[in-house]
């Protein structure tokens, strides 16, 4: 399990994430919520050792991340980043990149690597575009390829930074179902989302960030009861029970005044 203890991190002299203690338990989907600039992406980067901790520490199964090399970290945690370069590469080859941490020198894929990549593509529905250039695929198709790459990395923890951005609603729901499935298999999933109702529906736990600090950590129900979403986002957030279950609706604060 990945655990952050009193972690502070940032860029140059600027501290962005401030004194955050948080873990990402196996079998659970932890959603990071918070306004733009509240430090969610920075928290993910620090959790992966992509930026160093200023204060505090990141532990992987009790081992401080600074004692691990890049390959060890990459075998334990994978990131679906928010900004990805336009890949002029065939989908299948990109998915195989997920196997990089497992390759020894000279870098050559084994039959096992190819099988794992193939299965990952089957699982995310990317097999149909295996031979196509990723840059020519639609948003949803691209996402299925990047997800397959993430899966091919075979890590215990998966981090996803705004994975639903640019996806239509069907693909968003598919993606959330897929992340739930990964957690159901015993992995830890941590994802940044902007869609509050979607987060409330799918998260096991929500970590709410405000100005770099952890403002709340708990179940969606507990978060709702706390009223913190309304104060941190400056919105009105309403829960109602419909025939299909509990629903949440966001609206501007002004409307209710
Ligand atoms: P969020 O993901 O919650 O929108 P970020 O973690 O991306 O927030 O950003 C938090 C703060 O860190 C912002 O003020 C942003 O400008 C700053 N920041 C993000 N990335 C960098 C960077 N590479 N260099 C300097 N500052 C950065």
Per-residue model confidence (pLDDT) at position 107: 79
CATH code of the domain containing 49: 3.40.50.300
Calpha distance 255→235 (Å, rounded): 10
163 belongs to a structural domain: yes
Say whether pLDDT at 87 is over 90: no
State which ligand 1 atom lies nearest to the alpha carbon of 12.
25
Say whether pLDDT at 100 is over 70: yes
Say whether pLDDT at 199 is over 60: yes
Say whether pLDDT at 211 is over 70: yes
Per-residue model confidence (pLDDT) at position 254: 73
**Where residue 206 falls among pLDDT bands split at 50, 70, 90?**
very high
- The answer to whether the beta carbons of residues 159 and 146 sit under 8 Å apart is no
How far apart are the CA of 158 and the centre of ligand 1, in A? Answer: 21
**Where residue 25 falls among pLDDT bands split at 50, 70, 90?**
very high
Average pLDDT over residues 57-84: 93
Pairing mode, if any, of strands 157-161 and 77-80?
A: parallel
How far apart are the CA of 144 and the centre of ligand 1, in A? Answer: 27
**Where residue 255 falls among pLDDT bands split at 50, 70, 90?**
low
How far apart are the CA of 45 and the centre of ligand 1, in A? Answer: 10
Tell me the residue range of the domain where 209 lies: 2-252
Per-residue model confidence (pLDDT) at position 170: 87
55 belongs to a structural domain: yes
| 61: phi then psi, degrees, rounded to nearest 5 | 45, 45
Say whether pLDDT at 186 is over 90: yes
Going by alpha carbons, the residue nearest to atom 15 of ligand 1 is 37
Tens digits of residue pLDDT in 131-144 = 999 999 988 899 89
**Phi/psi-derived region of residue 118, left when phi > 0, alpha when psi is between -120 and 50, beta in every other case:** alpha
- The answer to whether the beta carbons of residues 245 and 254 sit under 8 Å apart is no
Tens digits of residue pLDDT in 229-254 = 999 999 998 888 888 888 888 888 87
Per the confidence metrics, is the pTM higher than 0.95?
no
Q: Given the structure tokens 């200023």, which residue do they identify? A: 54
Calpha distance 11→54 (Å, rounded): 9
Share of residues in the chain with pLDDT > 90 (%)? 75
- Share the mean pLDDT of the chain: 92
Joined tokens for residue 224: 């709702």
Say whether pLDDT at 187 is over 70: yes
257 belongs to a structural domain: no
Say whether pLDDT at 22 is over 70: yes
Going by alpha carbons, the residue nearest to atom 24 of ligand 1 is 11
Say whether pLDDT at 38 is over 80: yes
Per-residue model confidence (pLDDT) at position 105: 76
Mutating to test ligand 1, I would choose from 7, 8, 11, 82 the residue with most ligand atoms within 8 A of its C-beta, which is 11
CA dist list (Å): 161 to 109, 118, 194, 226: 28, 24, 10, 25
How far apart are the CA of 42 and the centre of ligand 1, in A? Answer: 6
CA 58 distance to own-chain centroid = 17
Domains held by the chain: number: 1
104 belongs to a structural domain: yes
Per-residue model confidence (pLDDT) at position 86: 72
- Binding pocket residue ranges, ligand 1, CB within 6 Å: 11, 16, 34, 36-42
Q: Where are the beta strands (DSSP E) in the chain?
A: 2-11, 14-24, 29-33, 53-60, 63-64, 77-80, 157-161, 188-192, 205-210, 213-218, 235-242, 245-252
**Phi/psi-derived region of residue 234, left when phi > 0, alpha when psi is between -120 and 50, beta in every other case:** left
How far apart are the CA of 48 and the centre of ligand 1, in A? Answer: 16
Please write down the HEC assignment for all residues of 218-255: ECHHHHHHHCHHHHHHCEEEEEEEECCEEEEEEEEHHH
Say whether pLDDT at 112 is over 60: yes
**Where residue 126 falls among pLDDT bands split at 50, 70, 90?**
very high
105 belongs to a structural domain: yes
Calpha distance 42→17 (Å, rounded): 7
Average pLDDT over residues 157-175: 90
């Amino acid at each position: 399990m990945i655990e952050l203890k009193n972690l502070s991190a940032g860029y140059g002299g600027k501290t962005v994430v401030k004194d955050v203690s948080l873990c990402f338990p196996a079998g659970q989907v932890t959603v990071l919520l918070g306004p733009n600039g509240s430090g969610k992406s920075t928290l993910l980067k620090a959790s992966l050792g992509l930026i160093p901790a200023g204060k505090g520490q990141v532990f992987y199964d009790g081992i401080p991340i600074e004692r691990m090399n890049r390959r060890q970290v990459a075998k334990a945690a994978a990131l679906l980043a928010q900004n990805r370069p336009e890949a002029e590469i065939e989908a299948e080859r990109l998915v195989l990149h997920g196997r990089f941490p497992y390759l020894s020198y000279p870098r050559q894929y084994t039959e096992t690597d190819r099988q794992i990549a193939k299965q990952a593509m089957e699982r995310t529905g990317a097999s149909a575009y295996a031979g196509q250039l990723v840059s020519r695929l639609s948003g949803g198709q691209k996402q299925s390829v990047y997800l397959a790459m993430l899966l091919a990395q075979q890590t215990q923890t998966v981090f996803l930074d705004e994975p639903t951005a640019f996806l239509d609603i069907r693909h968003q729901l598919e993606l959330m179902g897929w992340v739930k499935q990964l957690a159901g298999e015993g992995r830890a999933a941590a994802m940044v989302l902007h869609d509050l109702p979607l987060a409330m529906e799918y998260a096991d736990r929500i970590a709410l960030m405000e100005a770099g600090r952890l403002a709340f950590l708990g179940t969606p129900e507990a978060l709702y009861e706390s009223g913190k979403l309304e104060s941190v986002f400056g919105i009105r957030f309403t829960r109602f029970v419909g025939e299909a279950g509990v629903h949440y609706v966001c609206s501007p604060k002004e409307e209710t005044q």
